[in-house]
Amino acid sequence: MSVILSILAAGSLPALIFGAPVPSLLSRDVAVADVQSLQTRSSSSYTTLFGGDGTTAAGWPSMDSWVATYDEMFEANKATMSAGCSAYGFENDSEDEINDINNAIKSVSASSGVDARFILAIVMQESTGCVRVGGTNNGVFNPGLMQSHNGKGTCNTGVPLSPCPSDEITQMITDGTTGTVDGPGLQQLLQEAASPKYGASGATMYYLAARMYNSGSIAPDGNLGQGGATACYASDVANRLLGWSTGPTACQAAEIASLTYAKPASGGDSSPAPTTTTDPVASATAPAVSVTVSLDPTATATPTATPIDTTPVAPPTTTTTTTPPPAATSAATSSTSSATTTLLGPVYPGAVSTCQQWTLVVSGDYCLEVENDVGISASQFMDWNPGLDAACSNLWLGYEYCVKA
Ligand SMILES: *[C@@H]1O[C@H](CO)[C@@H](O)[C@H](O)[C@H]1NC(C)=O
């Protein structure tokens, strides 16, 4: 984060709610997608200049083509990370410090719901993982591994600290991921990207959030190679998510700003990413969602441990309980949809204002099931929830959708 002026005032951000868009692998009337094994890219170099608005239509990578697992991505970045301090002239990270970074990313990812691969990409982008990195100040102090928005975590308040204590490392990852009292972190920016203002879903949310993390805003025309600060930032982050872990960026600020589509980097591997399909069976093992959102606007909900956007809403394997939920905190564990007038989660922002009944989207839901369970047609469901796409690929987990108006 280099120049964040507080465009997103902390007070204007939504409460910490669970409910990022959930990529659906299920077409509207197909309950179980074909099972294919997950493929990953193998290139560790910078393959593509990602120009334009961050959409797959403009050639940006979908999450299917990201490095398959966080562990694999961390391993691939370890060597670069262990030499990361040399650019700053400080003592390199020790094995213990690198292990602490790894554990901090995993634990903050689990508690915030932000994809660990995205956190790691931002760490590498901001500091090359150097725990002793200094802070910058271009109006806002940006310290630590993620150069957070005036965060508390740092191992360099003028003098590089060695060893860097593990709680300080965790604080740096927390500041950048979940935000600070002064400014947003990745978690809030992902929500901003998914909000009606931008309406992003899937991988695009992450590319928009990366742009906002770096410069605080997105250029009016939506081009992520513009908007101030580091022009190549979003393209760099996309390459990191695809596996870039060694060598310099192939992106030039002057070129990226005028691109509106993805273009093979010169000298890089220009072969397109393989088309992949996430295994829905594996995805179905994701933890059940427990929505703990309170309707009290002054209350702060605790996000659950399910990572944002990596858990497709998979079809249920069983039909379950008709027992009314005893409390809001456990209501969302049911996989049976029912219409209610009592809200147990945040309202889907696109829902019609005349809505009379709602249903909470829980883990296991998909459009056809919701429609069948509450007895409405697909066109009614879409009419009452503008923004839902025809393929139902953007149902948001943990949100209340309108089922009667
Ligand atoms: C950090 O690691 C790099 C790469 O191994 C090395 O060239 C450099 O000398 C190291 N810096 C220090 C201060 O040890």
- For residue 244, report the distance from its CA to the centre of ligand 1, in Å: 21
Which of 92, 93, 98, 131 to probe ligand 1 with, by most ligand atoms within 8 A of CB?
92
- For residue 99, report the distance from its CA to the centre of ligand 1, in Å: 18
Mean pLDDT of 151-164: 96
Mean pLDDT of 301-313: 35
Residue 61 has pLDDT above 60, yes or no: yes
What's the confidence (pLDDT) of residue 285? 30
Ligand 1 atom 13: residue of nearest CA: 91
- For residue 198, report the distance from its CA to the centre of ligand 1, in Å: 43
Answer yes or no: is the C-beta of 87 below 6 A from any ligand 1 atom.
Answer: no
Answer yes or no: is the C-beta of 91 below 6 A from any ligand 1 atom.
Answer: yes
Answer yes or no: is the C-beta of 83 below 6 A from any ligand 1 atom.
Answer: yes
What's the confidence (pLDDT) of residue 320? 34
Residue 37 has pLDDT above 80, yes or no: no
Lowest mean pLDDT among 108-117, 150-159, 285-294, 295-304: 285-294
Mean pLDDT of 58-83: 97
pTM (global) more than 0.85: no
Summarize pLDDT for 89-99 with one digit per residue, the tens.
999 999 999 99
- For residue 171, report the distance from its CA to the centre of ligand 1, in Å: 25
Residue 128 has pLDDT above 70, yes or no: yes
Answer yes or no: is the C-beta of 373 below 6 A from any ligand 1 atom.
Answer: no
What's the confidence (pLDDT) of residue 253? 92
Strand (E) positions, 304-395? 357-360
What's the confidence (pLDDT) of residue 364? 72
State which ligand 1 atom lies nearest to the alpha carbon of 83: 2
Residue 184 has pLDDT above 90, yes or no: yes
**Helix 166-178 vs helix 186-194: crossing angle, to nearest 10:** 20
Residue 275 has pLDDT above 50, yes or no: no
Single out the residue of 14, 296, 11, 5 nearest to residue 181, CA to CA: 11
Q: How far is CA 15 from CA 19, 193, 299, 362, in A?
A: 11, 15, 8, 19
Domains along the sequence of the chain with CATH: 1-44+322-405 (no CATH), 48-283 (1.10.530)
Residue 190 burial (C-beta neighbours within 10 Å; 0-12, 13-18, 19+):
buried
Summarize pLDDT for 248-261 with one digit per residue, the tens.
999 999 999 999 99
State which ligand 1 atom lies nearest to the alpha carbon of 89: 13
